[in-house]
Structure 1
Amino acid sequence: MSKIKTPTLSSFKKICMILTTVFVLCFTILISLRIGSIDVSFKELIDGMFLNKQSNNFLIIRDLRMPRVLSAVLIGGNLAVAGALLQTTMKNPLADPGIIGISSGASLGAIAVMVIFTDLIKYKIIIAFIGGIIAACLVYLIGEDKGFSPVRIILAGVCVNSILNALSSMVTVFNSAGVSSIQTWLLGSLVNVTWNDFKILALYTIVGIALCLLVIKSCDLMGLGDKTAQSLGLNVNRVRVMITFVAVFLTSISTGVGGVISFVGLVIPHICRFLIGSSHKFLIPFSYFMGGFLLLVADTVSRNIFRPYEIPVGLTMCLVGGPFFIYILRRSKR
């Protein structure tokens, strides 16, 4: 497997790159809030946000568009960080929450609550997390037979992903009246995200990022290889479980709100490693803001390119991530 050349940038330049990304992300948020089925001027948007001069158009944007835009940023960031963690712990550049079955496990749990166990709907994200954990355990049980193998892990993930997707499709049969909305959600859609969804997502995201900060140093050691990490006193198996747990948590809370959105966790970590290097204290925050930026742009395009109709953002990401997946696959064979 070919290695990505790590840029030799100073810490100051890396911090400047991260701050620049934050600035671009904030500007993109304003643009995304402004354009849609109802367009508003920047003046009307700024007046409504900061001067409390709220027009009828702005009230629509505040109640419908703003939670969607902010949720897209959080979900994109969560999935990008989850992908970076999985690629480190699985030692495979093709690792992505959507490819290896974690997103499918989380979505199966969420759909089961939405369709069958409707009394538990307020626990949807927690049950999605349980589904993600079960999927991750299945992947490791199948893929770690006779020792850890990055290739076998990915193949096991693809198999688990296919099975869980089939089960999710079967569950939707129990709700034929709402099958269209559930299928749209399965494709990855933020169209029905509310302020309540955003608040829950933000709360769990804070917890997930806090957990992520606890494993950053261990991620750097894992990147050196299992034998080297063990020689430095790291319990590799325990750390691998911890890192996977954090990745599953970030993926599940995002899937519980936005459905299955693949390839963010594949594309962004590769771009970020190329630009800023493999040190996780810089890679993780950079991946988060870049992931938020990518998904926000994808969602903005999805709801505007064919307006007043829109396409699920998950499909847009597949169109972007599919060719990138092929590129990484061919590159890893060299």
Structure 2
Amino acid sequence: MSAATASGGGRSPGTTRRSLPERSWFRTGVFVALAVLLVTGALYAIGAGSVHLSIGQMLDALTGRDASLRRIVWDIRLPRMLLAALVGMNLAVSGLILQAVMSNPLADPSIIGVSSGAGLLGIGVMLVAPSRLALVTPAAFAGAMGAAAAIFLLAWEGGIQPLRIILAGVAVSALCGAGISAFMVLFSDRVAGALMFMNGAMSMRGWTEVRGLWPYSLVALALALCFARRLNVLVLGDDAAGSMGMNVQANRVFFTALAAVLAASAVSAVGLLGFVGLIVPHLVRMVLGPDHRLTVPGSILAGAALLVASDTLSRTVFSPIEIPVGITMTALGVPFFLFLLRRAL
């Protein structure tokens, strides 16, 4: 017996060395780190602002012991933080699902026309009926789902193929983009509010948007977690998935619709917000590997943490001026997008 074998340093010929993402302790550490980042970011988001609050002051405000701070925490900062977390979860998981279904590492919710459909009806309500702003959220959701349905119909030909979805999405997005431009030209005197919606603004959002969003998030994210194993089969390709007994077309329709609901609900709440569905899935896969049983919950935590941090940065870095979180996400997303392109070439 060699010294290396006796000391435990050698390996039998059939033993393979597991990579870090395959080690349970590493996976546990990643999820703990993501949870800590999310909780830390959430506490900082509630405490940061023109009035800085300690954790003790936050607790006093939430329990009602300090009525003067209750409105700041309960009515303004807490719902905004929760909304950012929900939107981040939805967009991140939506992007993860689309990248798996379409076998396209650069796919995100905008590729199926969800963002453009939501923008068309949402901005249309803002500009045509500015006194009916309460209708913006349901109109944006209807527009997003309508655009997704149109893409399904255009892409269907004995089934749905990823390339046809992408081409149909480009066509519908271009049509909706032309409609948005037409609205902005015809109602140029009312464009200010629409610009905020187009850049994913979190300002003036509260419990109404949270209550409207969380049921969709809860149901759709639960379905994504439950059926994550099917995504692992789907990414193997149509032939391999079919040989394993999977109904490829039915699962592709199901997951695309699930991604559309996640993205539509998020966009209808805060407006057009890009790059979350592109950045987060790649970062999570780089750390946890390709198994969707890990990347779906990882994307939920990472998406929430990223958008909470980005929104806090957007409203504090240039205080008292607040910039839309969509601009911050673009500033973060473009360099990462170029990094992905460089790796792919």
- Alpha-carbon distance in structure 1 between the residues aligned to 2:31 and 2:225: 17
Which of 158-167 and 247-256 deviates more? Answer: 158-167
Whether the aligned pair in 2 keeps the contact of 1:215 and 1:243 (CA below 8 Å) is no
User: Aligned residue for 1:72?
Assistant: 84
Q: Does 1:218 align with 2:230?
A: yes
Task: Give aligned pairs, total.
Answer: 327
- Alpha-carbon distance in structure 1 between the residues aligned to 2:215 and 2:76: 20
Aligned mate of 2:275, from 216, 240, 263: 263
Whether the aligned pair in 2 keeps the contact of 1:34 and 1:41 (CA below 8 Å) is yes
What SS does the corresponding residue of 1:257 show, helix, strand or coil?
A: helix
- Alpha-carbon distance in structure 1 between the residues aligned to 2:159 and 2:118: 26
Unmatched segments (≥5 aa) in structure 2 = 1-18
1:147, CA displacement in angstroms? 9.0
Change beyond 3 A, Cα 1:57–1:173: farther
1:21, CA displacement in angstroms? 1.1
User: Aligned residue for 1:188?
Assistant: 200
Deviations 1:73-111 (A, max 9, x none): 100111000000000000000001135532111222333
1:161, CA displacement in angstroms? 2.8
Aligned mate of 1:23, from 30, 36, 49: 36
Deviations 1:234-264 (A, max 9, x none): 1111111100100000001100111010000
- Alpha-carbon distance in structure 1 between the residues aligned to 2:73 and 2:33: 26
Amino acid at match of 1:234: M
1:219, CA displacement in angstroms? 0.8
Q: Does 1:44 align with 2:32?
A: no
- Alpha-carbon distance in structure 2 between the residues aligned to 1:192 and 1:178: 18
- Alpha-carbon distance in structure 1 between the residues aligned to 2:59 and 2:52: 13
Amino acid at match of 1:182: A
Whether the aligned pair in 1 keeps the contact of 2:197 and 2:271 (CA below 8 Å) is yes
1:54, CA displacement in angstroms? 2.0
TM-score where L is the length of structure 2: 0.85
Report sequence identity in percent: 36
Higher relative contact order (CA 8 A, sep 6+): 1
Deviations 1:116-170 (A, max 9, x none): 4789866655543442234335555666789977566545544533432231232
TM-score where L is the length of structure 1: 0.87
Amino acid at match of 2:46: L
RMSD over aligned CA atoms reads 2.7
Whether the aligned pair in 2 keeps the contact of 1:44 and 1:58 (CA below 8 Å) is no
- Alpha-carbon distance in structure 2 between the residues aligned to 1:284 and 1:108: 30
User: Aligned residue for 2:9?
Assistant: none
Amino acid at match of 1:28: G
Unmatched segments (≥5 aa) in structure 1 = 1-5
